[in-house]
Structures are given as C-alpha cells and as structure tokens.
Structure 1
C-alpha cells in the first residue's frame, strides 16, 4: 500500500478551480503546493469537489483499486454522484474494480493495514456476514482491515475526519476525552486490540449558521504529501490553530507543517484530505498533462 509520505502528486476536481464558491480556496492550496514544489493537477469528469471519495486506492506504483461509489448520503442527489468509471476513463487511469461500496474518505491507510469505520457494513447490506466483507477487503487491499466506530451524527461516516496513521502502530486522532463517550470507549477497545498508540489532536466544535454539515474545527483532515503536512486552520473564535500547528510540528519534526484557511470549503462539510487525491509517480504519469 502506498502511504501518504510516499506520494508526490496531488489531484483535485476541476470543479474546485472553476466553481466560484471554491476558487479562492483552490488558489491558496495550489500556492502552498507550488511553494514546496509539489506537482498538482485537475481531474475531468467529476460532479463534486470531494475527489478523495470517488477516486481509487493506490496499492502500488501502477496499481489501483476502485470501489463502487454509491454512498447512502447521496442517494437523493444523483447529480452529485460521480461515476468513477467515467472519471478514470477521461483521466486515463486504469484500476481493478470492486463491487464493494466504499468511499475513499473512509479508507485511512498504512503499508499493510487500513482503518475503515463501521459505516462500511450498512453501506453493504448484501453482506450478512461482516467477517466475509472484511475478509474480501483484506484480500483486495492486501492489508489488515481495522474497523473503528463511526460518529453517528456524521453524514458521511468517514474515517479521515477521525484518525490518521502516524506510523504502523501509532494513530493521530481527535482528542478522545473531548469526543462522544461511545466513540471514546469504542476507540479504546480498538487501540487495545491492535496494540496501537494514540496521539490526541485538538478539535473545535464550531457551528456555522446555515451549514449543518460544516467541518470547521476538524484539524485531523490535513493533507500529507511527501514531506509536506498542509493543515487546516480556521481563525474563528475559540480556535486551536496555534496549538495544533505546534503539536504537529513537534510530532513531525522532519516535515514542513503549513497552515491554510479554506473555510469556504470547510463550511460545506470537508477539508484538505477530502478535496485531494494524492498519488505516487509514475503511476499518474499518463495524466500529468492536466497539471496547471
């Protein structure tokens, strides 16, 4: 499995650059990438900006796994549901297809293990046997699957707004003591079962009027590419921006931690990991013509 630090190219939906609601955010993010000489490009044939969800998982330099993209939260919004087969064909990307319904935002990966929330079970009702579903995922990804509880109030049920891998045996995640009791208790069981350490990252419970799915305050949804950690900051009342930047700089002493405010995106329910699809070259060499 390709891990984030091994990646060196970042793709975004072309809509991020063309939709006036997000253009300013795209410019800020692309400027940071340019400053650190990280190549980036735009994907054709997408229907929303959350490309992490409908793009494939990269297993090897030229090996992708594309899951079925039919999230329950978009069941009434067909106009927003990207067809991965169309997108991959338009962008000249080849992948192995799976009938399992799983969003990329619900796959947090390390070399030989991945973290997925239990939302995967309700998204695949044909699998009455949960163990069979996990077994098929492990065979397909060639990695151990670690299932964590979802946040019940989160529309997407994704893992990438909850935890990330620091290394094989250490997670960085939302502060356990500040989370819901059921999630804290469930995570403690997972950590014990899999002998995982945990670095708590502050988060901010901040409400944005008119945007019930706002992700403002979710620092763990950062973008990690090569030696760059691009972390969202929010610059709102009660923010923990400085605390998070200092903590991540301490946790990643050999990386560059760059803050960026993309609240114009965050209020719609996602952040830096959600809007990006980072891969390792030369797997993407056939689509680098999209580089801007």
Structure 2
C-alpha cells in the first residue's frame, strides 16, 4: 500500500482545538484539492500516525503495542489504538510487538524500519527470531535502517521513525532527508543499505542548512497524486520542493507552513493517517 494508493485522511480533533488556524488552513487545503478527510476522536495527542494501525493492503490493517520509550513517564499521552479504531469501525490484526506507525515506510516488497525497534522490544539487534516474526506479521521483507540517539543535540532525533528519514517514490526509487547535512556518516550507512537492496537513493541537501526544520521536508503528506509539503518561509522551501517534484514526477504539490507543528518534533506525515477506503 503506497501513499499514492491512498484516498482518505484522518487527523486528530485535538489539532483543531490546539492549533485551530493551522487546522483550518490544512482542512481547507484538503477541500481545495478534493481530498476526503475526517477527524479522529479520543486521541491523546495529535500524532495519529504513531498509534493508528498500519495499512498493509486494501483490506489488511496491522495493529501493534504502542508504548514508545519517548513517552516513558508521559503515559497519559498514549492513545488507545483499539478504542479509536472501533470508533471508525476499523478491524485490524493485533500484535504485541512494540512499534510506532511512524517507523515504517512501505517500499514494494520491503518495509523500511529504523533499528530502534530492537531495543524497544528488548531483543538484541538483528535478532533472527524477532526478524522472522516481524516479517511474517508484515508480510514484507524488513530493511533495518541504522538509528543513533543524539541526546546532546537539541535538534537530534529521539523517535527513530523511518518516515523522518526516507520516502518511497516508486519502483526502486527512494528520496532521503537531508540527514547528511548533520550526520554524513550515518546518512551514508542508510544510503548503502538501501542501495544494497537495489534502491536508487537521492538525498536532499541544502547549501545553507536550517538544522531546526530541514528534517521535516521529508515528512510530507501524499494522498494519491497530491503532495502537501511543510514550509518554513525560508529559501530551503523551494529547494526541497524541487527535490520532491523530481522524485514524484506528475504530482500536484502544495505547501503549508508547519513551523509550530515542527517545533514539537513532527510534521505533516506525523499528524495525518492516510489510508485507502472503499
């Protein structure tokens, strides 16, 4: 199930109560583009991508145990996946694997997952039994992308979500974030792993990096042929748009300022759960 195959978007109703001007602009853009959407009620934060089931195919959704380490001590923000799914009459296959919906990018026969999943499930890295189990549940071969915490970096990633690093374009093409502008060795490792599995990888890069927000450009939302990109009213907006337009030929690209949302650690893909309905 590619983003290109999706036709419906859910967002949290909290987005309207907590970020009303942004939410009104976003839903207005949905209307302008003809994107069907609705609110999810009962969520405990706005990051619906992280706790909603993963759609693997038209009629198959995979659930998981949503218990991220970055919410340790903040369990009041952990949404009830089963309860919310029931409220929209969604059935899914449950699993007790600890997982985040933001840590999967479906790419043909593969699922791209940051290797933080191993520590979250208290198994050693590349544990064979765990890998077999995960791949069986996903029905996909897993490619594990190396992830490192950077606790001393205020702009460092604490989530380990693959949707903050890569986006599947089509066939064997991957668009990658500007991670190399901050951590070139890590970015090269990710690139080599993807190339080993036959992918052609293009990396975003900026002559004048804005470390606070550049990471968010890869976290855009695609629904069918429509792409909505984050913008930050700086020169890198247009550069990022060029990267995306070359990677997704024929896509209709729009943008919305995401400065307030991104300052909290996520962007458009994080706040939206796009699926195929019907």
> What's the TM-score once normalised by structure 2's chain length?
0.91
Deviation larger for 99-108 or 29-38: 29-38
CA RMSD across the alignment:
1.8
* Contact residue 4 and residue 225 of structure 1 kept, 8 A: yes
Label 1:151 to 1:24 Cα distance change in 2 as closer, same or farther (>3 A).
farther
Q: CA deviation at 1:134?
A: 1.6
Residue 94 of structure 2: aligned partner: 97
Instruction: Summarize deviations over 1:67-113 as a string: whole Å, max 9, x none.
Output: 11000010110111112112112222111001100100001112321
Runs of 5+ consecutive residues of structure 1 not aligned to the other structure: 208-214, 283-292
Q: Which has the higher contact order (CA 8 A, sep 6+)?
A: 1
After superposition, the Cα gap between the structure-2 partners of 1:124 and 1:254, relative to the gap in structure 1 and judged at 3 Å, is same
User: Out of 35, 38, 42, which is 1:41 matched to?
Assistant: 38
Counterpart for residue 190 of structure 1 = 193
Helix, strand or coil for the counterpart of 1:160?
helix
TM-superposed deviation, 1:253: 2.7
Deviation at 1:129, TM superposition (A): 6.3
Report deviation, 1:200: 1.4
Is residue 2:93 matched to residue 1:132? no
216-225 or 53-62, which deviates more: 216-225
Name the structure with the higher helix share.
2
**Comparing 258-267 and 246-255, the one that deviates more:** 246-255
1:131-162 Cα distance to aligned partner (Å, 9 max, x none): 22221111111111110012423111111111
| Superimposed CA distance per residue, residues 145-188 of structure 1 (whole angstroms, 9 cap, x where no aligned partner) | 11001242311111111111112321101236424133123213
Moved over 6 A (4+): none
Q: CA 1:217–1:162 in structure 2 vs 1: closer, same or farther (change >3 Å)?
A: closer
- Of 229, 232, 248, 1:231 maps to 229
Q: Deviations over 1:194-220 (max 9, x none)?
A: 12111112364344xxxxxxx565200
DSSP-derived class of the 1:278 partner: strand
Q: CA deviation at 1:264?
A: 1.6
Q: Which residue of structure 2 aligns with residue 219 of structure 1?
A: 217
Q: Which residue of 2 aligns with 1:212?
A: none
Separation (CA, whole Å) in 2 of partners of 1:74 and 1:275 = 17
Alignment: residue pair count = 270
The alignment partner of 1:205 has SS state of coil
Report SS of the residue matched to 2:269: coil
Specify whether residues 62 and 33 from structure 1 end up closer, same or farther in structure 2 by C-alpha distance, changes over 3 A only: same
Question: Which residue does 1:277 correspond to in 2?
Answer: 273
What TM-score comes out, normalization by structure 1 length?
Answer: 0.87
